[in-house]
Chain A
């Protein structure tokens, strides 16, 4: 049998490269905004700057989990391998973002609250979501058959999405003496009591985090699609090729 040709990674298309560069520039702008332009907070001083990196990453992380579940549902519905590529790309980004979120949260917690971990509701929810995503990738690593792997991953991602509201409720009520009848989903004062300058810089950094997510998602999907093409090409030799025994 003819040995297969070595395949190189296809070149990144121009528009994606431009999008990546633009995102990098915006990231630099966001960093400058957060570190220099933003005034120090009345209560927390310069520590408020951690908030820009932490909150933006958390919000986009949850968006990534949502997208992984949506693509999982899409795969279960129409069984197209490319849906699984989108799902795993979103999940990978979610994993990275949640790891950053937990790390950022602990970094934020030590100087402001004095301890690295104090069972704060939002940070507990983030840590649980991270644990769920680790489980997602452990399961993926144990299944060799692509269709079964895609199907089982899709199911796990849907369960992950379903568990987030309950984990949120549990984390919120864990700290209080008793569960409250209504719960506050705005993140506790971020939208209410922040001065406008903080809010604008935060929203800009959230946008930057989202753009970084989109860029890496598109790049990962591009590579995943190339891998899919490779699998189907290797499985069926090109027409006219003679197989020598």
Chain B
């Protein structure tokens, strides 16, 4: 399975690069903290308001982080002219997409793992269903990373790309955001696992469909 090797190598390259440069890490942690603080100030100190807002806060912070990291993942290569070289390797274009997707997804899940306990602490979330919460974060960030990675490639050589990426992404990721927030809410408030599973099914369905669609279309996006 050499394709798998290409994908993991590319993902490792992106991940290591990010670990060393910390360009996106600093920005995303700063953004996420700002979001948490401002919303805590706006909604607190009432316990009920904080707990009700907690799922939304978590996913807003994750969404900001996802957009920043996805945009950054192409920036470094484009600036050095390395992206054209990457495209010239005799590997399927789809593996480039999946490699970047894997790196972005990993990055977002790590951030999710950091944000979940922090948000739980400040916004009084009940974490007793934490295995299902982890699953929700995994599938939710996968869907978001899918769209973000794909559209970041599309906008990477356009003018005004930083402002264009959220404009293009927002209507497409609405279902993912809704399902993720609702699932998180069900798991941390009412504890109704059945309804949380329904939202998770929407997440998984979204992920599967877009995995296929974006991988198939990536080739056309990178032609010059």
Q: What CA separation (Å) do A82 and B201 show in the bound complex?
A: 40
Q: Known contacts A156-B154, A158-B217, A178-B195: does B175 contact A167 (CB below 8 Å)?
A: yes
- Is there contact, CB below 8 Å, between B171 and A151? no
Interface 1/0 per residue, A160-202 and B, CB below 8 Å: 1011001101100110011101000000000000000000000
Of B167, B171, B202, B220, which is within 8 A of A76 by CB?
A: B220
Total residue contacts A-B, CB cutoff 8 A: 84
Question: Smallest Cβ distance from A223 to chain B, in angstroms?
Answer: 26
Which residues on the B side are within 8 Å of A138 (C-beta)? 164, 167-168
Q: What CA separation (Å) do A159 and B168 show in the bound complex?
A: 10
Which residues on the B side are within 8 Å of A179 (C-beta)? 195, 198-199, 202
Determine if B170 is an interface residue (Cβ-Cβ < 8 Å): yes
Range for the number of chain A residues in contact with chain B: 20 to 34
The interface size of chain B toward A, counting residues with CB under 8 Å, comes to 35
Q: What CA separation (Å) do A79 and B155 show in the bound complex?
A: 21
Which residues on the B side are within 8 Å of A208 (C-beta)? none
- Is there contact, CB below 8 Å, between B220 and A151? yes
Of A152, A160, A174, which is within 8 A of B154 by CB?
A: A152
Determine if A142 is an interface residue (Cβ-Cβ < 8 Å): yes
- Is there contact, CB below 8 Å, between A178 and B198? yes
Q: What CA separation (Å) do A170 and B182 show in the bound complex?
A: 11
Q: What CA separation (Å) do A154 and B154 show in the bound complex?
A: 12
Binding site for B on A (CB under 8 A): 76, 128-129, 131-132, 134-135, 138-139, 142-143, 148, 151-152, 154-156, 158-160, 162-163, 166-167, 169-170, 173-174, 177-179, 181
Known: A170-B202, A173-B202, A174-B178. 10 other contacts (CB 8 A): A128-B171, A129-B171, A135-B167, A138-B168, A142-B159, A151-B221, A158-B217, A160-B172, A170-B179, A178-B195
